[in-house]
Every structure is written in C-alpha cells, then in structure tokens.
Chains A and B, each alone.
Chain A
Amino acid sequence: MVVQALAFYLFATVAVLSATAVVTVRNPVHSVLLLILTFFNAAGLFVLLGAEFLAMLLVVVYVGAVAVLFLFVVMMLDINFVEMRQGFLNYLPIGVLIAVVLFVELALVGAGWTLTDEAVAVLAQPTPVGVTNVEALGRLIYTDYAYIFQAAGLVLLVAMIGAIVLTLRHREGVRRQNISEQVKRNRADTLEIKKVPVGRGI
C-alpha cells in the first residue's frame, strides 16, 4: 500500500504542477507539452484506480491523437510574444470577473452536492468483481446502452460531415493524379511507333 500511496502522490503532484505550468509558461509549445504531461499523469491515476482500460484510452486518444494535432497547430503559429503581453492589463479585469463568476458557480454547485447511499456503494467499486475492466465497459456500452452509444456516434458523424462541408473547396486548375486511370492505360493509348522517312521528319 505504501508504494501505491507514493505513486498516487507522485502522479497527483506532477499533474497539478504541470497543469499550473500549462497556463503560466510563456511559450505555447511548452504549454502543449506540459498539457501532455498532465494527461499522462491523469492516465497514471486511472491505473491506480484500477481503470487500466480508461487509462490506455486516455493515452491513445488524447495524448496520441488530439494533442498531436494541437501541437502541430501551435508549432505552426507565428506568435510575437512581446505583442501578446501588451494587452494583458487591459483584459485583466474581464478575465478576473469571468474567473470569479465561474468559481462562485462551481462553489454553489459543489456545496449543494450530496451523494445518495446507492451512489456511494457504486463509487467504492469501479468495476464489478470478477469481470475485467474491458468487459465491464463493453457490457455497459454495447449491451446496456447500445442505442444511446449509436446515437452518440451519429452525432459525431454529423459533426465530422459538417466540418468537412464547411472547409471543402474545389479549386480550379489543380492537377490531380488519378491513379486508377494511370494503371488502366496500356501501350496502345500512350505510344505510337512511326517509321520516319530519312531527311523529311514527321
């Protein structure tokens, strides 16, 4: 148990510190890298909770895919750091105001929050006894809530189609490679052998 406690404090401390650093460091690329470190430590906490499947998914999806795209975008940005700092004091009051509003709302919700006894019983047991993580989640998603899961998939599909429709532009005058056409052609389509008379040309 001592090792587990040590691991918990390690992951938790690094997660909190790196999350703080995400918003405080100056270089946005460093911010994204620290965000990745935060995700990673959250995955470590999941493992300690016995939710190893969720931990792996967090790493595969958020760290391996989403954060990579983030990093690409941020690396491509051409940012003038001095300029970025200039408006800081102007925006400070609004920023503080929003932070206070959010904090008060969260505090009100948190203070009024109580758990029923049933919920507490569930909380103590992240996975049913004798069933692996993957199986427990699979039963929930694909057996108990299959229709809701399908509906969520459709929502994502619609969002994806929307994004493609919004950004798709057909440009004129772009030469594209049509590979099936290239493969399909034979010698007769492209080559012609002619006997050229000497001294006259074609």
Chain B
Amino acid sequence: MELLWDGYIEPVVWIVAKILAIVVPLLVAVAYLTYAERKVIGAIQLRKGPNVVGPFGLLQPLADGLKLFLKETIIPSSANKGVFIIAPMLTFILAIIAWAVIPFDEGMVLADLNVGILYIFAISSLGVYGIVMAGWASNSKYAFLGALRSGAQMVSYEISIGLIIISVLLTTGSLNLSDIVRGQVGGIWEWNFVYHFPMFIVFIVSILAETNRAPFDLPEAEAELVSGYNVDYSAMTFALFFLGEYANMILMSGLCAILFLGGWSAPLPFLEFIPGAIWFILKICFVLFIFLWVRATFPRYRYDQLMRLGWKIFLPLSFAWVMLVATFLVVFDKVPA
C-alpha cells in the first residue's frame, strides 16, 4: 500500500496539480486576451471597446464564454460526425499540451525535455490537422476552401520557422528550452534578438501566418469565405477552436520570448530581484501586443502574395541566415560546446 502511494499515486497527484497550475491560468489568459484584443483595437480605432459588463467591461469574456456554453451544439446532417467532433478537440488539446515544455523560470517547467524545441515544433505542425479535418468534415464548400488555404499557409510558414529555430540553436548548442534561455541570461545585450535581428522580424511575421492572424487571416476572410473552416461550428465546438487559436497565439509569443527575448531573464542585471516568471509573462504580453497592433494596422494580404512572401522571400532569407551563422561560428571558432 505504501509502495503504491509513494510510487504511483503521489507523483500522479503532483503532476496533475502542476498541469492544473499551467492550464487554468492559461485559460484565464485566453479569456482576457480576447478582452485585451477588443480594448486595444478599440483604442487604436478611437472607440471604447467592451465597457458594459462589469467594471471597465472586465466581465465581458466571462459573459461571452457563458453564452457559448449555453448555446446548442449543431451538427450538420451531411457532416462526417466523428471527424466533425474530433477536430475542435484536437485543436484545443494540441494548443494546451505544447505548454508542457515551456520554462517559466529557472527550473519552473513541467517536463524538461532534451528535445523541447523539437517537441513544440512537432506539436505546432500537428495543428493543421484540426483545421483540415474540420473543413473536410463539415462537408461545405466554404469550410473546405478555408481549411485548404489555412493548411497550405501553415505548412509553408512552418519551414521558415524551422530554419529560424535552427539558426538560433546553432548559437545556443542545445535543443533544451531552459538551456536556450540560460544562454541569454545577463542583460538585454545578451538576448538573441540582438544577434539575430533580421530573423527576429521574420519570426514575428511567420508566427502571425502560422497562427492565422491578421494580416494573414485568409482562412477566415469573412468577405469571401464567410468565416472559413469553422463556419459550420456552433456553441462549445466553436469555442474550442477559438480557445485553441488564442492559446496558440500565447504559445507562439512564449516561444518568441524564449528564443529571442531571453525567456525569464531580466533585461538589466540589477532588475534580477523581480521573479523570472514575471519577466517571462511581461515578454509574452509584449509579443501579444504586437499581434493586436498588427491586426489593427495592416490590411489583409492576398493569397498569392502570402505564398510568395513565404516561399520566395522568407525561405531563402532564413536559409541564407543559417549558412551565415554556421560559417561565422566555424570561422571565428565560436561553436558552442
């Protein structure tokens, strides 16, 4: 009995507690990201944004969530039922499980994988399935076209993201996310975005495309495709897509913070008394603000222009950068051990 408790039950309870400690704040963050989005875009467009439900409209996300929860889940009669229901679940699960390897502070990580960055890359490359399955299972032209667009877009931009990750890894010498952050500790001048500045910009643009956000939100171009792959979804199935999309935005911002903005490290050495997790969250908020800012500023790209940008500009550019970084490291004998 004691063996059972010490060997199995106690670790499981601990792990479940840790998972909840990540997932619950994440879901709250998703809810308030939608609120922040409406407030920021409202401010940019000289409107007030949500301000009726609760003080400053702070309860608006809860009201929206409740509304989605209480609505009826409609499954179209010609839809492929199994796939139709699995698709939103898959999107949501994939957006959540990638957080298992994100280090919030020194040692504050659920699973300190040696191949952490590859794990995130693998999980985010699976995200396309939720969307393609949803588009196909709805058995509707608009949904299918939206899904195909989204799929092609995500697959295209993944390549440049992969190459950018490689050039960062060359300077770090480890696939472990905590090691990547440790290589940047010591102040803002140690962070990767100083050395990889062109790739930092390309990465930000690529994660906009990877998460299907404006100006690359072609999958849900409401003018032509109504709302893309999720047009037939209602109530909680729709809410799962929505949560997945926003959790992915936060995840990609976190990845950007880890790869380029020094993760949990403080920007100036004398600021190290502030806990690392707070710095990490501030950096995520910064990247998320760029997401919202871009959405309110730029018009939507045309589809052929999007593909041209991905394949003809970002891909050669990030390839060239990998070569440049590798050559530099070898010539100046700076290859990390």
Q: Which residues of A contact B (CB under 8 A)?
A: 3, 27, 29-30, 33, 36, 52-53, 56-57, 59-60, 63-65, 68, 71-72, 75, 132-134, 177, 179
Beta-carbon contact of B122 and A59 below 8 Å: yes
Residue of B nearest to A177 (CB): B304
Q: A68-B128, A72-B148 are in contact. Are A29 and B175 (CB under 8 A)?
A: no
A35–B127 CA distance with the chains assembled, in angstroms = 17
Which of B20-28, B33-41, B112-120, B204-212 interfaces with chain A?
B112-120
On chain A, the residues within 8 Å of B136 by CB distance are 29, 75
How near does chain A come to B146, taking the closest CB pair, in angstroms?
13
How near does chain B come to A39, taking the closest CB pair, in angstroms?
11
Beta-carbon contact of B132 and A52 below 8 Å: no
Residue of A nearest to B122 (CB): A59
A136–B211 CA distance with the chains assembled, in angstroms = 34
On chain B, the residues within 8 Å of A56 by CB distance are 115, 118-119, 121-122
Beta-carbon contact of B115 and A133 below 8 Å: yes
On chain A, the residues within 8 Å of B80 by CB distance are 27, 29
Q: A68-B128, A134-B114 are in contact. Are A60 and B175 (CB under 8 A)?
A: no
Beta-carbon contact of A68 and B304 below 8 Å: no
A72–B155 CA distance with the chains assembled, in angstroms = 12
Known contacts A52-B114, A177-B305; can you find 13 more A-B pairs with CB under 8 A?
A: A27-B80, A29-B136, A56-B121, A56-B122, A59-B126, A60-B122, A60-B162, A64-B125, A65-B158, A68-B129, A68-B132, A133-B114, A179-B305
Interface of B is mostly: helix
Beta-carbon contact of A179 and B155 below 8 Å: no
A78–B194 CA distance with the chains assembled, in angstroms = 51
Beta-carbon contact of B115 and A53 below 8 Å: yes
On chain A, the residues within 8 Å of B114 by CB distance are 52, 132-134
How near does chain B come to A139, taking the closest CB pair, in angstroms?
14
Residue of B nearest to A56 (CB): B118
Interface string of B142-168 (1 = CB under 8 A from A): 001000100100010010001000000
A174–B155 CA distance with the chains assembled, in angstroms = 26
Beta-carbon contact of B126 and A53 below 8 Å: no
**Is B75's beta carbon under 8 Å from chain A?**
no
**Is B308's beta carbon under 8 Å from chain A?**
yes
How near does chain A come to B140, taking the closest CB pair, in angstroms?
13
Beta-carbon contact of A60 and B125 below 8 Å: yes
15 contacts between A and B (CB under 8 A): A29-B80, A29-B83, A29-B136, A30-B83, A52-B114, A53-B118, A60-B121, A63-B122, A64-B125, A64-B128, A65-B125, A68-B128, A68-B129, A71-B129, A179-B308
How near does chain A come to B21, taking the closest CB pair, in angstroms?
22
A64–B123 CA distance with the chains assembled, in angstroms = 9
Identify which of B83, B113, B115 gathers the most chain A CB atoms within 10 Å of its CB.
B115
**Is B243's beta carbon under 8 Å from chain A?**
no
Residue of B nearest to A54 (CB): B115
Q: A33-B83, A56-B122, A63-B126 are in contact. Are A68 and B175 (CB under 8 A)?
A: no
A53–B114 CA distance with the chains assembled, in angstroms = 9
On chain B, the residues within 8 Å of A71 by CB distance are 129, 132
**Is B252's beta carbon under 8 Å from chain A?**
no
On chain B, the residues within 8 Å of A53 by CB distance are 115, 118
